[in-house]
């Protein structure tokens, strides 16, 4: 895939249904909310083996997950636009899109934005934090024309 100013996109696998570099860049930049010019991050798209190893090593959890975010922690007094790394597991995202009755594009946008928000310091460990993060995700996705991922779908 490609590299844009401040944003590196790495694709470690080949799979059907992967978003284009342009789509990923658009979602990343949108989630950064105009901070893209002074921000740096890497997005890596991986298989289940790689994300399982990362999940075990850094979170002590077994199995594959959809996204991991690794915020950059600068030394005290060091200013940096580096935000960190996001790792997304393509097979997990594809399965979740089916089980959640979402389009693949819609779910990729959601997971990408979710990862960026973690790099920006948002979390969902506590109910209040989760509510705020979910609201922000829904707002950002809505601005891109996607449905709120946390509202039940009516068909």
**What is the tens place of the pLDDT at every residue in 48-69?**
999 999 999 999 999 999 999 9
pLDDT digits (tens, 9 = 90+) for 7-60: 999 999 998 899 999 999 999 999 998 675 678 999 999 999 999 999 999 999
User: For residues 59 and 56, what is the distance between their CA atoms, to the nearest angstrom?
Assistant: 6
pLDDT digits (tens, 9 = 90+) for 112-138: 999 999 999 888 777 778 789 999 999
Sheet containing 7-11: order of strands: 3-4, 7-11, 40-46, 82-89, 67-71
The number of distinct structural domains making up the chain is 1
pLDDT digits (tens, 9 = 90+) for 91-119: 999 999 999 999 999 999 999 999 999 99
The domain that holds 125 is classified in CATH as 3.40.390.30
DSSP code at position 37: G
Structural domain includes residue 94? yes
Q: Are 136 and 31 in contact (CB under 8 A)?
A: no
Domain extent for 39: 3-143
Q: How confident is the model at residue 150 (pLDDT cuts 50, 70, 90)?
A: confident
């Amino acid at each position: 895939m490609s590299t844009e100013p401040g944003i590196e996109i790495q694709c470690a696998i080949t799979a059907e249904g992967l978003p284009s570099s342009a789509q990923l860049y658009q979602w990343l930049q949108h989630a950064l909310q105009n901070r893209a010019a002074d921000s740096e991050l890497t997005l890596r798209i991986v298989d289940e083996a790689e994300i399982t190893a990362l999940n075990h090593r850094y979170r002590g959890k077994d199995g594959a997950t959809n996204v991991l975010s690794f915020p950059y922690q600068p030394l005290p007094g060091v200013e940096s636009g580096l935000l960190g790394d996001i790792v997304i597991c393509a097979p997990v995202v594809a399965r979740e899109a089916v089980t959640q009755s979402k389009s693949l594009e819609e779910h990729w946008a959601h997971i990408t934005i979710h990862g960026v928000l973690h790099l920006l310091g948002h979390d969902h460990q506590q109910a209040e934090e989760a509510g705020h993060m979910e609201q922000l995700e829904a707002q950002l996705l809505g601005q891109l024309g996607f449905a709120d991922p946390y509202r039940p779908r009516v068909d």
